Amino acid sequence: MPLPRRICAPALLLLMCCVLSPPLPLQAAQMNQAEAAERVLAALDKDGREVVVALHRTLAAIPSSGPESGGPGESKKAAAVLAWLRELGLGDVQRVDLPDARVPSGVRPNFALVLPGRDTSRTLWIISHLDTVPPGDRKAWTGDPYTLRVQGDLMYGRGAEDDHQGIVSGLLLARALVGTRLVPPLNLGLLFVSDEEVDDTGINHVLKTRPDLLRPTDLILIPDGGTPDARTVILSEKKLLWLKFTVLGKQGHGSEPDKAVNTLTAAADLIMRLRGLYNDFPAQDPKFDPPASTFEATKLAAGVESVNMIPGQTVFYMDMRLLPTVPASAVRERVRQQADAVEHESGVRVRVEVESDSVSAPETPADAEVALRLFRAIRAEYGVEPTARGMGGRTFASDLRAHGLPCAVWMTATGTWHQPDERSSISNNLRDARVVTRMLFEAGTPRR
């Protein structure tokens, strides 16, 4: 572009300032941001351990499994979290409850708290879930699953890691922001949802009824999976496909196979043929462990009661986990071909039904801002190189990704979720909060 022939003096001065002076205001802003982050980190460290244990003790004492397992739902746990927030002066939450007549309160609670940042158009969200799985075999536990037991750095109790740790790390950061009276560069959002362990109805209710709440430009972290070394950042999931097979033949006496059509042997034949799916869909992706899709026969429904009966009906199930690049329709087509072959050969009928399937969701790109900020924060906090991974299990991250919301699943985990003696490390809770602080303030200074 040609220069104007004449530049007035003030404009020239301004131009010289821009060209010659170092960008002082920006540097100062960055320095303030780093200092602010250090103050929040110091606040987290100050009395963090006591707060972590007190919060975990409260949460552990409140059963919150869903009605499918005879549990009461999440309302009492939600009330405890809300009471804690109110004490901090953070009572202004947005409720997105889902009616559910199966639980005593009649609702499955979901609620969001937003602490405003300087830029209120974007939010760093921590989404945690309020439900837990039931304790399972209580004899396998060393103590009562609903009474927090603290041994050194470890806290034992049902839900300690899955997902009380996720709840607590968010609460810790909110408390530190209130205590330091610091306004972060962007909003901090805490979203608490119900029913993660069974059906994801909580997050899907939020996505449906409050589509404005989570925005594609937001940064979304789901602290609900990870590894002890803090390096694993989960950015994609395999697609889950559960199929139910009903093999129908003709019941008969064990001594008269010629008068019967044996569905157990036909089912066994089909199960062995379906092992061939591993060869039919051999694609590999090293982000996942195992790197290929999996196709496993799992549950067998009870058959005939007597040894001398040839069964006329056999029901079995398969659990399939497909890489994001493997189309479920192609897998189902191949399954049907094998079922047709068994029908033809054994004279049975095979009904194939979808028992459960997850949405097909794109991966969160490794250069999405949430991933980049998280990588930098992990490097700064832990001094380790993070790795982008995929997982075979399912979280509601896929539901968010299917809605065009990039997100990362990450926490520093002991990996004891759903197990007897489930535990969470006090340090992990604090360091997760520190990592999110670094993401929020983009403070990259390594920990001394």
Residues annotated as catalytic (active site), given as ranges: 131, 196
Could you tell me the smallest distance in angstroms from the CB atom of residue 128 to Zn ion?
Answer: 8
Taking CB under 5 A as the binding criterion, the range among 224-232, 245-253, 268-276, 346-354 that sits at the site for Zn ion is 224-232
Residue with tokens 């408390």: 175
Q: In terms of CB distance, is 50 or 68 closer to Zn ion?
A: 68
Helix (H) or strand (E) holding 447: none
The residue within the footprint of Zn ion, chosen from 100, 161, 163, 422 (CB under 5 A), is 163
Q: In terms of CB distance, is 197 or 381 closer to Zn ion?
A: 197
CA-nearest of 359, 330, 239, 329 to 288 is 239
Helix (H) or strand (E) holding 21: none
Contact 31, 39 (CB under 8 A): no
Q: In terms of CB distance, is 162 or 399 closer to Zn ion?
A: 162
Running DSSP on this structure, what letter comes out for residue 365?
Answer: P
DSSP string of 206-235, one letter each residue: HHHH-TTTS-TTSEEEE-S--BTTS-EEEE
Taking CB under 5 A as the binding criterion, the range among 53-61, 88-96, 158-166, 211-219 that sits at the site for Zn ion is 158-166
Taking CB under 5 A as the binding criterion, the range among 149-157, 206-214, 219-227, 230-238 that sits at the site for Zn ion is 219-227
Could you tell me the smallest distance in angstroms from the CB atom of residue 159 to Zn ion?
Answer: 9
Could you tell me the smallest distance in angstroms from the CB atom of residue 419 to Zn ion?
Answer: 13
Q: In terms of CB distance, is 158 or 239 closer to Zn ion?
A: 158
Q: In terms of CB distance, is 228 or 383 closer to Zn ion?
A: 228
Residue with tokens 């090293």: 286
Could you tell me the smallest distance in angstroms from the CB atom of residue 325 to Zn ion?
Answer: 26
Number of neighbouring beta carbons within 10 Å of residue 392: 16
CA distance 86 to 51: 16
* Helix boundaries (H) for 113-255: 165-180, 201-209
The footprint of Zn ion on residues 274-303 (CB under 5 A) is none
Residue with tokens 């889950």: 240
Taking CB under 5 A as the binding criterion, the range among 223-231, 304-312, 349-357, 424-432 that sits at the site for Zn ion is 223-231
Q: In terms of CB distance, is 97 or 163 closer to Zn ion?
A: 163
By CB under 5 A, is residue 224 in contact with Zn ion?
yes
Contact 130, 203 (CB under 8 A): no
Q: What is the separation, in whole angstroms, between the first and last Cα of the chain?
A: 50
Could you tell me the smallest distance in angstroms from the CB atom of residue 202 to Zn ion?
Answer: 12
The footprint of Zn ion on residues 379-438 (CB under 5 A) is none
CA-nearest of 146, 119, 150 to 442 is 119
Helix (H) or strand (E) holding 264: helix 263-274
Could you tell me the smallest distance in angstroms from the CB atom of residue 170 to Zn ion?
Answer: 14
Could you tell me the smallest distance in angstroms from the CB atom of residue 330 to Zn ion?
Answer: 31
C-alpha distances in Å from residue 98, one per residue of 212, 231, 339: 17, 35, 40
Q: In terms of CB distance, is 163 or 237 closer to Zn ion?
A: 163
C-alpha distances in Å from residue 177, one per residue of 170, 190, 286, 431: 11, 13, 39, 16
Length of the chain: 448
Total of residues contacting Zn ion (CB under 5 A)? 3
Number of neighbouring beta carbons within 10 Å of residue 292: 17
Q: Output the six-digit token pair for 362.
A: 């794109």
Q: Output the six-digit token pair for 221.
A: 């972290």
Taking CB under 5 A as the binding criterion, the range among 7-15, 133-141, 154-162, 396-404 that sits at the site for Zn ion is 154-162
Using CB under 5 A, list all residues that contact Zn ion: 162-163, 224
